[in-house]
Protein backbone atom coordinates (compact mmCIF):
# COMPACT_ATOMS: atom_id res chain seq x y z
CA UNK A 1 0.00 0.00 0.00
CA UNK A 2 2.85 2.39 0.82
CA UNK A 3 4.51 1.67 -2.54
CA UNK A 4 1.21 2.42 -4.29
CA UNK A 5 0.83 5.60 -2.27
CA UNK A 6 4.35 6.65 -3.28
CA UNK A 7 3.49 5.77 -6.90
CA UNK A 8 6.32 3.29 -7.20
CA UNK A 9 3.94 0.44 -8.05
CA UNK A 10 0.36 0.21 -9.22
CA UNK A 11 -2.24 -2.37 -8.31
CA UNK A 12 -4.02 -4.16 -11.15
CA UNK A 13 -7.78 -4.48 -10.99
CA UNK A 14 -7.48 -8.27 -11.34
CA UNK A 15 -4.93 -8.48 -8.56
CA UNK A 16 -1.19 -8.24 -8.52
CA UNK A 17 1.12 -5.28 -8.83
CA UNK A 18 3.29 -3.68 -11.49
CA UNK A 19 6.44 -1.65 -10.84
CA UNK A 20 6.20 1.75 -12.48
CA UNK A 21 9.33 2.59 -14.45
CA UNK A 22 10.83 5.75 -15.89
CA UNK A 23 12.35 6.22 -19.27
CA UNK A 24 15.56 8.23 -19.59
CA UNK A 25 13.47 10.92 -21.30
CA UNK A 26 11.13 11.00 -18.27
CA UNK A 27 14.20 11.54 -16.08
CA UNK A 28 15.46 14.42 -18.22
CA UNK A 29 12.06 16.12 -18.21
CA UNK A 30 11.83 15.68 -14.45
CA UNK A 31 15.22 17.34 -14.05
CA UNK A 32 14.10 20.30 -16.15
CA UNK A 33 10.99 20.72 -14.02
CA UNK A 34 13.04 20.54 -10.82
CA UNK A 35 15.52 23.10 -12.15
CA UNK A 36 12.70 25.56 -12.78
CA UNK A 37 10.81 25.04 -9.53
CA UNK A 38 13.67 24.47 -7.11
CA UNK A 39 16.01 27.01 -8.68
CA UNK A 40 13.57 29.81 -7.98
CA UNK A 41 12.64 28.34 -4.61
CA UNK A 42 16.30 28.47 -3.54
CA UNK A 43 16.49 32.08 -4.73
CA UNK A 44 13.51 33.01 -2.55
CA UNK A 45 14.61 30.83 0.36
CA UNK A 46 17.88 32.73 0.66
CA UNK A 47 15.83 35.82 1.45
CA UNK A 48 13.28 34.17 3.75
CA UNK A 49 15.03 31.27 5.52
CA UNK A 50 14.67 31.05 9.29
CA UNK A 51 17.20 29.90 11.85
CA UNK A 52 15.06 26.80 12.49
CA UNK A 53 15.06 25.92 8.78
CA UNK A 54 18.83 26.42 8.62
CA UNK A 55 19.21 24.10 11.60
CA UNK A 56 17.09 21.48 9.83
CA UNK A 57 19.21 21.78 6.68
CA UNK A 58 22.40 21.52 8.72
CA UNK A 59 21.18 18.33 10.38
CA UNK A 60 20.21 16.82 7.02
CA UNK A 61 23.55 17.87 5.55
CA UNK A 62 25.35 16.10 8.38
CA UNK A 63 23.34 12.97 7.60
CA UNK A 64 24.35 13.18 3.92
CA UNK A 65 27.98 13.54 4.97
CA UNK A 66 27.64 10.51 7.24
CA UNK A 67 26.22 8.46 4.37
CA UNK A 68 29.17 9.42 2.19
CA UNK A 69 31.67 8.62 4.93
CA UNK A 70 30.06 5.24 5.64
CA UNK A 71 29.23 4.53 1.98
CA UNK A 72 25.70 3.72 3.15
CA UNK A 73 23.19 5.35 0.78
CA UNK A 74 19.97 3.46 1.43
CA UNK A 75 18.38 6.45 3.18
CA UNK A 76 19.69 9.03 0.72
CA UNK A 77 16.43 9.48 -1.24
CA UNK A 78 14.46 10.36 1.89
CA UNK A 79 17.17 12.65 3.30
CA UNK A 80 17.69 14.40 -0.04
CA UNK A 81 13.93 14.91 -0.45
CA UNK A 82 13.72 16.36 3.08
CA UNK A 83 16.64 18.70 2.33
CA UNK A 84 15.00 20.01 -0.83
CA UNK A 85 11.56 20.18 0.82
CA UNK A 86 12.97 22.38 3.59
CA UNK A 87 14.25 24.79 0.94
CA UNK A 88 10.84 24.85 -0.74
CA UNK A 89 9.20 25.63 2.59
CA UNK A 90 11.75 28.38 3.25
CA UNK A 91 10.82 29.98 -0.09
CA UNK A 92 7.43 30.72 1.50
CA UNK A 93 5.56 30.31 -1.78
CA UNK A 94 2.64 27.89 -1.63
CA UNK A 95 2.28 27.63 -5.40
CA UNK A 96 5.90 26.48 -5.78
CA UNK A 97 5.24 23.83 -3.13
CA UNK A 98 2.07 22.69 -4.93
CA UNK A 99 3.95 22.46 -8.22
CA UNK A 100 6.72 20.46 -6.56
CA UNK A 101 4.18 18.15 -4.91
CA UNK A 102 2.98 17.19 -8.39
CA UNK A 103 6.43 15.92 -9.38
CA UNK A 104 7.48 14.58 -5.95
CA UNK A 105 6.25 11.01 -6.67
CA UNK A 106 8.31 11.01 -9.86
CA UNK A 107 11.36 12.14 -7.91
CA UNK A 108 10.85 9.18 -5.57
CA UNK A 109 10.44 6.88 -8.54
CA UNK A 110 13.63 8.30 -10.05
CA UNK A 111 15.55 7.54 -6.86
CA UNK A 112 14.17 4.02 -6.66
CA UNK A 113 14.42 3.23 -10.35
CA UNK A 114 18.06 2.30 -10.30
CA UNK A 115 19.53 5.78 -10.60
CA UNK A 116 21.18 5.80 -7.23
CA UNK A 117 23.64 8.02 -5.49
CA UNK A 118 26.33 5.59 -6.62
CA UNK A 119 25.80 6.51 -10.28
CA UNK A 120 27.39 9.94 -9.91
CA UNK A 121 30.35 11.45 -8.12
CA UNK A 122 29.34 11.22 -4.44
CA UNK A 123 31.70 13.87 -3.14
CA UNK A 124 30.33 16.36 -5.64
CA UNK A 125 26.83 15.78 -4.29
CA UNK A 126 28.04 16.37 -0.75
CA UNK A 127 29.90 19.48 -1.91
CA UNK A 128 26.78 20.72 -3.73
CA UNK A 129 24.67 20.36 -0.59
CA UNK A 130 27.29 22.19 1.46
CA UNK A 131 27.35 24.98 -1.12
CA UNK A 132 23.55 25.24 -1.11
CA UNK A 133 23.47 25.40 2.68
CA UNK A 134 26.23 28.02 2.78
CA UNK A 135 24.53 30.24 0.21
CA UNK A 136 21.23 30.04 2.09
CA UNK A 137 22.92 30.74 5.42
CA UNK A 138 24.61 33.81 3.90
CA UNK A 139 21.36 34.95 2.21
CA UNK A 140 22.98 34.83 -1.25
CA UNK A 141 19.98 34.37 -3.52
CA UNK A 142 21.75 34.04 -6.87
CA UNK A 143 24.37 31.69 -5.47
CA UNK A 144 21.69 29.54 -3.80
CA UNK A 145 19.89 29.23 -7.14
CA UNK A 146 23.12 28.35 -8.97
CA UNK A 147 24.13 25.75 -6.39
CA UNK A 148 20.79 23.97 -6.27
CA UNK A 149 20.78 23.90 -10.06
CA UNK A 150 24.26 22.34 -10.00
CA UNK A 151 22.96 19.72 -7.56
CA UNK A 152 19.95 18.88 -9.71
CA UNK A 153 22.17 18.79 -12.79
CA UNK A 154 23.91 15.79 -11.21
CA UNK A 155 20.57 14.01 -11.54
CA UNK A 156 20.55 14.93 -15.23
CA UNK A 157 24.02 13.39 -15.62
CA UNK A 158 22.79 10.18 -14.01
CA UNK A 159 19.81 10.14 -16.39
CA UNK A 160 22.30 10.45 -19.23
CA UNK A 161 24.01 7.29 -17.96
CA UNK A 162 20.65 5.55 -18.22
CA UNK A 163 20.28 6.65 -21.83
CA UNK A 164 23.69 5.19 -22.68
CA UNK A 165 22.64 1.82 -21.22
CA UNK A 166 19.57 1.59 -23.48
Q: What is the pLDDT of residue 159?
A: 67
With 80 as the cut, is the pLDDT of residue 21 above it? no
With 80 as the cut, is the pLDDT of residue 30 above it? yes
- Distances 7 to 54, 95, 111, 126, 128 between C-alpha atoms, Å: 30, 22, 12, 27, 28
Give the pLDDT mean for 144-158.
88
SS3 category, 110: helix
**pLDDT single digits (tens) 85-107:** 999 999 999 999 999 999 998 88
Mean pLDDT value across the chain: 85
Q: What is the pLDDT of residue 137?
A: 98
Confidence band of 10 (pLDDT split at 50, 70, 90):
confident
Amino acid sequence: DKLCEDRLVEKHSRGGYRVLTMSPQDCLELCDARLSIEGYAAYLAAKNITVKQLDTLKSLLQEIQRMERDRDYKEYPEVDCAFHRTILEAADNELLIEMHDIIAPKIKRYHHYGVTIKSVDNMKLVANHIAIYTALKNHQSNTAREEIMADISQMKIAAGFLMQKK
